[in-house]
Amino acid sequence: MANVTTLNVNGSTRAINADAQTSLLSVLRDQLDLTGSKYGCGEGQCGACTVLIDENPRHSCITPVGTVGNRRITTIEGLEVNGRLHPVQEAFLAEEAMQCAYCTSGMIMTAAALLRSNPRPTAEQVAQYMQGNICRCGTYPRIVAAVLRAAKEARA
Amino acid sequence: MSAEFSVTPQIEPERYELRAPSPYHFELRRRDFFRTLGAGLLVACVLKDAFALQESGGGRRPMGDELPREISAWLHIGENGGVTTYTGKVEIGQNIRTSLSQAVAEELRFPLARIEMVMGDTRLTPYDMGTFGSRTTPTMNLHLRQVAAAARDVLIDLAAKQWNADRSVLLARDGRITDPSTKRTIEYVELLRGQQLTELVPAEDPLEPPAEWTVEGKPVPKVDGRDFVTGKHKYPSDQVLPGMLHGKVLRPPSFGATLASVETPDLTALSGVTFVHDGNFVGVAGPSEETAIRALKSVRAEWRETPDEVSSKNVYDYLKENPAKVGGELGERSSDYELGAVDRALAAADHRIEQTYTVAYIAHAPLEPRAALAEWSGDSLTVWTGTQRPFGVRSELARTFNLPEENVHVLMPDMGSAYGGKHTGESAIEAARLARAANRPVRVVWTREEEFTWAYFRPAGAMEIKGGVQNDGSIVAWEFHNYNSGGSGIRTFYEIPNQRILFHPTEYPLRQGSYRALAATANHFARESFMDELAHEVKMDPLAFRLKNLKNERLRAVFEAAGAKFDWSRPKQPGHGFGIGGGFEKGGNVATCAEVTVDQASGEVHVVRVVTAFECGAIVNPDNLRNQIEGGNIMGLGGALFEAIQFENGKILNPLFSRYRVPRFSDIPVFETVLIDRKDIPSAGAGESPLMGVAPAIGNAIFDAKGVRLRSMPMVPEQLNVA
């Protein structure tokens, strides 16, 4: 089986060594020490592993690394630019939209993708778009508020 | 305040602790073998005291050791001027890293941002039984306030001595002592000159009253929030050591299965893999997770399975027909209660009804599954793991590997929650067992399917109630039986002159244990649903009926506040129903009103709006309290409407999020929360009790909308008999 030897992550080309079938999530976590993306289910049901691939949100736990060799991958670690948090990150802090926060990376990545495609979502659109992300602590109302806040602040 | 030291650990009397055997145990008589493949090395080892694994980890305090009373055991002022506080409590999303920092900042008069909390580290923090039972706020928060107040007093003494000043005029503020008359000022750290505060915490020391709080009582944001939104925080499953291997464990095909035979696999194609077979335990450790998975797949094992007739379909009959063979063990009989003459009062009542309610087995399903990283150094073991009981896991490990407790060091990085589901150390034992064989650090992270199958469950239960009520709405007789689910929250808080309340421990088919709010959820669902049935029996408004039978002013306050905010008496849209439920447990008073609609075709229930009023004494952090109340309601909504473990013949049939429905964004109603801040009452915890009202409120609202009474949690569409 072919091996994948480089990956374009958070703006840099990184050397890896993985079987093409290996999940992107385990390569990010175990080879690149990018542990902000989380394992939650392994079947694309909970969204804790969400990363952006060419700006689209994808479940890295069910994405074979061989399918993303040439694509631009953004993880939670790549969202902050020069020490400045992404508006969605700021909004999650402002709304205290977390408890244990294990889902938070995936929530923020999904929300960042939503705001890129729809800068002015309604609360219903936020809920619909983020339906694939589970927060077991139940901070959903705060997450919706945070996404709406980020949208508003981005316009201001 | 009691002269007794305030954090002496106590087990809450109704705690439903796990007592099922671990799913596997190391055998005593067998000479197990480890084989490091590649190197071709064969190591023999005998483990002692393996049956200790059958217990969930008693977590005993070292014999003869009192908890330290020196300030320095709990609080250090570092030479850089920062403060470090030590507590055995752990952070699992309930936000105590922040609220306990507030407690220290308040009494020490020290900037919150420069306080670091060391939590759940068995080598650095004083013993703690565990983080459960909503005990952190009433015990540890209070204790750390006492420690910080004592430290502040000592610092004032030091300054008074140094300046030869009257201590009563000196002020402690913002990490310094000031003499307002001379304007002299000195930082805490300068007063100490590298010493620590070895003075004892006095038994009595007046604390700042809640009405005067400046840091506690405020909506302080999560102290390390930035680490979470940037993905920097390292959870237990993120821990790494140089040379670490990834471990995987072979699971039996069904509960109770025992290993008949296992062949040592040929792993020549997979370099660096360690294979372990020890009693019922078979596991592998390899240089990557993929390699470990492939190695595990190559293991050929045969299991002896034991047929099991009990399933999720017949479990309630089973519970009622099978009293526990060792009933006294739980100690939960203490909840049994008898008042007046129930049988006579029931016979004489104007109306008598009786009903049975059930709750299903459900899973905690914390988003981070069990995880542990273990490393040996000679006969010393260090484990980083996600647990609510680091000291309990230390005991489990010490017993399992026949080590003195001081040789075991357990650390608990803030984890991806638990909800009562991580009192035990399964993954820690597995990682340690594999690491012992591999002679390398090993990390074990459970898969979602393992977490759904091999953790433990919230107990299923059946509740039988008989009630007698007069035409005027006064309840005269109450008989309540709980089978298996537990004794927590079983007593009624309504004024009823004749009562009989019994918890019946039973045999049970699945490994079961603690769960957020314990049996209080089941008992409140049954009691508050039955209250609704009684109200309808005498044609009274359900809220007015409750208030008629309720004297407790704190409970009345939350019912009245929830009803007012919800606008209980307002007219309803067609197809909408209103319901209410509430109660008291662990120092928290809750009342929840729910508005629901039921889809005519599918029977799917949609919860439109939820209003919860809550009171737990003086509020420590109002924003975090709201967060816990909302989260608790949402978790309660899952158990109310869709969560249920399906099982048959010793197998879990829905061990994945694709088959086990948990609340998602689309399920979330509009939430409104009313906080009642009783500054005259000591603060209680709020991680659990907010759950209790939502299930009966939804059930009662469904009855209001459809005229159909659902008495089984989860309340699923089939029960509504829709077309």
Residue B10 lies in a domain: no
B229 part of contact set with chain A, CB < 8 Å: yes
Check whether residue B206 and residue B244 sit in a common domain.
no
Cβ-nearest to B630 among A41, A76, A141: A141
- B512 band by pLDDT with thresholds 50, 70 and 90: very high
Check whether residue B331 and residue B413 sit in a common domain.
no
From A137, which residue of chain B is nearest by alpha-carbon distance?
B631
Q: Does the pLDDT value for residue B646 go beyond 60?
A: yes
Name which residue leads in pLDDT, B331 or B209.
B209
- Contact at CB, B664 and A134, closer than 8 angstroms: yes
From B452, which residue of chain A is nearest by alpha-carbon distance?
A41
Q: Give pLDDT, residue B9.
A: 34
List the CATH code of the domain at A3-78: 3.10.20.30
Q: Give pLDDT, residue B25.
A: 60
The ranges assigned to domains in chain A are 3-78, 87-155
Q: Does the pLDDT value for residue B30 go beyond 70?
A: no
Q: Give pLDDT, residue B718.
A: 84
Three-state SS for B378? coil
Q: Does the pLDDT value for residue B71 go beyond 70?
A: yes
Query: Which of the residues B228, B447, B688 would you substitute to probe the A interface, choosing the one with the greatest number of A C-beta atoms within 10 Å?
Result: B228
State ipTM: 0.98
Q: Does the pLDDT value for residue B610 go beyond 70?
A: yes
A125 part of contact set with chain B, CB < 8 Å: no
Mean pLDDT of B503-511: 94
Neighbours of B599 (CB within 10 A): 13
Check whether residue B220 and residue B249 sit in a common domain.
no
Residue B490 lies in a domain: yes
Q: What is the pLDDT of residues B247-258, one digit of tens each?
A: 999 999 999 999
- Of chain B, the percentage scoring pLDDT greater than 70 comes to 89
Check whether residue B405 and residue B285 sit in a common domain.
yes
Contacts A29 to B, Cβ<8 Å = 238
Check whether residue B149 and residue B253 sit in a common domain.
no
Q: Which two tokens stand for residue B186?
A: 């000195």
Check whether residue B670 and residue B585 sit in a common domain.
yes
Query: Which domain covers residue B650, as residue numbers?
Result: 315-362+457-720
Distance of CA B46 to the CA centre of its chain: 35
User: Residue B581: what are its φ and ψ, rounded to 5°?
Assistant: -160, 155
Q: Which two tokens stand for residue B668?
A: 């979330």
Q: Give pLDDT, residue B721.
A: 72
Q: Does the pLDDT value for residue B274 go beyond 80?
A: yes
Cβ-nearest to A131 among B225, B658, B666: B666
Name which residue leads in pLDDT, B289 or B719.
B289
Share of chain A residues as helix, strand and coil, in percent rounded to the nearest 5:
40, 20, 40
- B625 band by pLDDT with thresholds 50, 70 and 90: very high
Check whether residue B419 and residue B291 sit in a common domain.
yes
Mean pLDDT lowest among A29-33, B196-200, B239-243, B692-696: B196-200
> Global pTM?
0.93
> Nearest-CA distance from A1 to chain B in Å?
14
Contacts B688 to A, Cβ<8 Å = none
Mean pLDDT of B592-611: 94
As a residue count, chain A comes to 156
Q: Give pLDDT, residue B47.
A: 26
Check whether residue B620 and residue B641 sit in a common domain.
yes
Contact B71, B201 (CB under 8 A): yes
The DSSP 8-state label assigned to residue B658 in this structure reads T
Contacts A102 to B, Cβ<8 Å = 93, 235, 366-368, 415-417
Q: What is the pLDDT of residues B357-385, one digit of tens each?
A: 999 999 999 999 999 999 999 999 999 99
- A154 band by pLDDT with thresholds 50, 70 and 90: confident
Contact A95, A34 (CB under 8 A): no
Residue B19 lies in a domain: no
Check whether residue B325 and residue B300 sit in a common domain.
no
Q: Give pLDDT, residue B550.
A: 98
Residue B208 lies in a domain: yes
CA gyration radius, chain B: 27
Contacts B240 to A, Cβ<8 Å = 33
Residue B4 lies in a domain: no
A36 part of contact set with chain B, CB < 8 Å: yes
Q: What is the pLDDT of residues B656-714, one digit of tens each?
A: 999 999 999 999 999 999 999 999 999 999 999 999 999 999 999 999 999 999 999 99
Q: Which two tokens stand for residue B514?
A: 């603690």
State which amino acid sits at residue B271: S
Contacts B445 to A, Cβ<8 Å = 39
Q: Quick one: three-class SS letters along A76-130?
A: HHHCCECCECCHHHHHHHHCCCCCCCCCHHHHHHHHHHHHHHCCCCCHHHHHHHC
Number of independent structural domains in chain B: 3
- Contact at CB, A19 and B290, closer than 8 angstroms: yes
- Of chain B, the percentage scoring pLDDT greater than 90 comes to 84
Q: Does the pLDDT value for residue A142 go beyond 60?
A: yes
Mean pLDDT of B396-423: 96
Q: Does the pLDDT value for residue B266 go beyond 50?
A: yes
Query: Which of the residues A3, A17, A33, A39 would you substitute to probe the B interface, choosing the one with the greatest number of B C-beta atoms within 10 Å?
Result: A39
Q: Give pLDDT, residue B149.
A: 97
Residue B488 lies in a domain: yes
Cβ-nearest to B230 among A37, A76, A136: A76
Q: How far is CA B313 from CA B317, B361, B364, B564, in A?
A: 9, 11, 21, 41
Cβ-nearest to B229 among A92, A127, A128: A92
Burial of B502 (0-12, 13-18, 19+ CB in 10 A): middle
Number of alpha carbons in the 13 Å side-chain half-sphere of residue B473: 16
Domain termination site, one of B196, B229, B262: B229
Q: Does the pLDDT value for residue A35 go beyond 50?
A: yes
- Contact at CB, B631 and A138, closer than 8 angstroms: yes
CA gyration radius, chain A: 15
Distance, CA of B467 to CA of B590 (rounded, Å): 23
Residues 65-104 of A with CB under 8 A from B: 75-77, 79-80, 85, 89, 92-93, 96, 98-104
Contact A103, B93 (CB under 8 A): no
Q: How far is CA B708 from CA B214, B284, B525, B711, B715, in A?
A: 50, 53, 16, 10, 11
Q: Give pLDDT, residue B722.
A: 61
Give the domain CATH number at B254: 3.30.365.10
Mean pLDDT of A79-93: 96
Check whether residue B624 and residue B489 sit in a common domain.
yes
Q: Give pLDDT, residue B22.
A: 56
Nearest by Cα to B545 from B567, B568, B522, B565: B568
From A39, which residue of chain B is nearest by alpha-carbon distance?
B368
Q: Does the pLDDT value for residue B1 go beyond 50?
A: no
Name which residue leads in pLDDT, B21 or B182.
B182
Query: Which of the residues A75, A102, A104 would you substitute to probe the B interface, choosing the one with the greatest number of B C-beta atoms within 10 Å?
Result: A102
Q: What is the pLDDT of residues B203-216, one digit of tens each?
A: 888 999 999 999 99
Name which residue leads in pLDDT, B11 or B314.
B314
* Average pLDDT in chain B: 90
Distance of CA B233 to the CA centre of its chain: 22
CATH class of the structural domain A87-155: mainly alpha
Q: What is the pLDDT of residues B39-61, one digit of tens each?
A: 322 222 222 222 222 223 334 44
Check whether residue B486 and residue B631 sit in a common domain.
yes
- B113 band by pLDDT with thresholds 50, 70 and 90: very high
| β partners of residue A67 | none
Q: Give pLDDT, residue B196.
A: 87
Mean pLDDT of B144-173: 96
Check whether residue B713 and residue B668 sit in a common domain.
yes
A149 part of contact set with chain B, CB < 8 Å: no
- Contact at CB, A102 and B417, closer than 8 angstroms: yes
